[in-house]
Amino acid sequence: MSSSAPGATNPMLYDPIPEGQGSTTKRNQFVAALGICMAAVSGGTALAWTSPVLAQLVPANQSDTSGLAHESFLLTTDEGSWVGAFLAVGAFLGALPAGYLAEKIGRKYTTMSLAVPYLISWALIIFATGAGMLYAGRLVIGIATGASCVVAPMFISEVAETSIRGALGAFFQLHLTVGILFVYAVGSYTHWVTLSILCAIFPVLLIVAMFIVPESPVYLVKKVRPVSGRRIDAGVALKWFWGPNADTQSALQTIQSDLDAASGEAKVSDLFTNPTNRAALFISLLLMFFQQFSGINAVIFYTAPIFQSAGSTMDPAVCSIVVGVVQVVMTLASSVLIDKAGRRILLLQSSFIMGACLIVLGVYFKMQNDKVDVANIGWLPLASVVLFIISFSLGFGPIPWMMMGELCAPDIKGLASALAVMFNWTLVFLVTKSFGTMQELLGSDWTFWFFGAWMMVCTVYVFIKVPETKGKTNAQIQAILGGKK
């Protein structure tokens, strides 16, 4: 990977301990991942914040201001949609400079510095007196969230052993869902200003956690390459992450060799002129595309109506909490399965089952629109949405973020990862903003069928084109992408 690459994820794929040499402890690797992922929890709270808050700021009766702390302003429906969309705009802007900053001041201090825009954004939101301050706050928090999507997985991958690379790689998505669940649970029963104050706790915890975690050994070696003045610091960091018995000399040599092999500065043209690089980039981009075109936002949006259609008397807030719990539990399950079952099988089950669930939901809403009596099958859409969320959390929730780093060679990994993250947030913006229009023009049934069709295409694509990366080194993955067995 070039020292001037603008963004990166999973830059090194190596095992710190050659077989039979030394022994490691995984405890501190999990401790580090938990601390770093306070950035992910902060991002999750930002993502879910609009769900309970817009219900308070954009009431059905615009003249009803009861219960509002800031009674001087409400939001129109259009303003509310922009409050949600500005996060995606900010995330797009934050992805590119995040990796560049990580190369300049290190992974540790870049991750720690993300707390600053998070705290600024929550301050803008807490003291907002109109839509303008909310827009600014959501834009700034989007920048922090987009940067977190680049730097946090990058840091985790550089301290993880091959045997737990998948599990720790899924930690980022897991902690995003923890942040989402926190907002669903707390935001449903508190005022939005109180919720915002509580959300500001997580960036503070991020600062505290990053004081404890050492700098990435990859960065410490890379910063002084080819001079070895800070290799002692890198060795100390390795001992902290992998235990006092770890064979740090072999690990440092592996890191140095990988960096030496990627000594050239990557150019954008390298992503397209080299067939192996091009394959890695396109697979990464398409996994991001299918993640967003799974219709996850449409299903989440329809959760409460689907529960009601099934005859449930549960409060919509409780429905949201149930969805949040399912996401957390199943993403945790994914972190356990991902290094056992592999990436491909989890992606295949995810796309196929999600596609089937979307088709069923479309049929159900079509029957409702046609005035068909659906009382006897009210359980069907409820089962479909729960199964959909389970499958998404096991596959297309965490895996695209992890695989975009595993697929790319070190010299183009920064550029490719930055493009993939920016592409993902562009899709988030487009899908979020266009969903209402699709619903009006196509109807609920065809909207679900539209996303379901993409999942069927996705299943075929994953089966044909996406390689298995479980337990493979970067060199092995590049050989597979290059058409070698």
What does the pLDDT look like over 288-309, one tens digit per residue?
999 999 988 777 767 766 776 6
Decide: helix, strand or coil at residue 326: helix
* Residue, of 280 and 474, whose pLDDT is higher: 280
Residue 277 token pair: 């690089």
Residues 301-321, mean pLDDT to the nearest whole number: 72
Cβ neighbours around 212 below 10 Å, total: 11
What does the pLDDT look like over 327-339, one tens digit per residue?
899 988 888 888 7
Rg of the chain in Å (alpha carbons): 23
Domain ranges for the chain, please list them.
26-59+71-213, 267-484
Cβ(459)–Cβ(352) below 8 Å: yes
Cβ(18)–Cβ(152) below 8 Å: no
Share of the chain above pLDDT 90, in %: 30
- Indicate the DSSP class of residue 266: P
| Residue closest to 409 by CA, chosen among 208, 236, 274 | 274
What DSSP line would sit under 458-483, residue for residue? HHHHHHHHPPP-TT--HHHHHHHHTT
Residues 60-73, mean pLDDT to the nearest whole number: 50
Residue 205 has pLDDT above 50, yes or no: yes
What pLDDT, on the 0 to 100 scale, is given for residue 239? 82
Distance, in Å, from the CA atom of 400 to the CA atom of 311, rounded to the nearest integer, reads 35
Cβ neighbours around 269 below 10 Å, total: 9
Decide: helix, strand or coil at residue 2: coil
| Residue closest to 35 by CA, chosen among 97, 91, 87, 107 | 107
Residue 410 has pLDDT above 80, yes or no: no
Residue 8 has pLDDT above 60, yes or no: no
What DSSP line would sit under 187-220, residue for residue? HTSS-HHHHHHHHTHHHHHHHHHHHHSPPPHHHH
Q: How confident is the model at residue 59 (pLDDT cuts 50, 70, 90)?
A: low
Residue 402 has pLDDT above 70, yes or no: yes
> Which residues, in sequence order, are CB contacts of 7 under 8 Å at separation 6+?
95, 96, 98, 99, 100, 102, 150, 414, 415, 417, 418, 421
| Residue closest to 356 by CA, chosen among 314, 399, 390, 308 | 390
Q: Please name the fold of domain 26-59+71-213.
A: Growth Hormone; Chain: A; (1.20.1250)
Domains 26-59+71-213 and 267-484 alike in fold: yes
For the packed helices 231-242 and 27-36, what is the interaxial angle rounded to 10 degrees?
Answer: 100
Superfamily of 267-484 according to CATH:
MFS general substrate transporter like domains (1.20.1250.20)
What pLDDT, on the 0 to 100 scale, is given for residue 312? 65
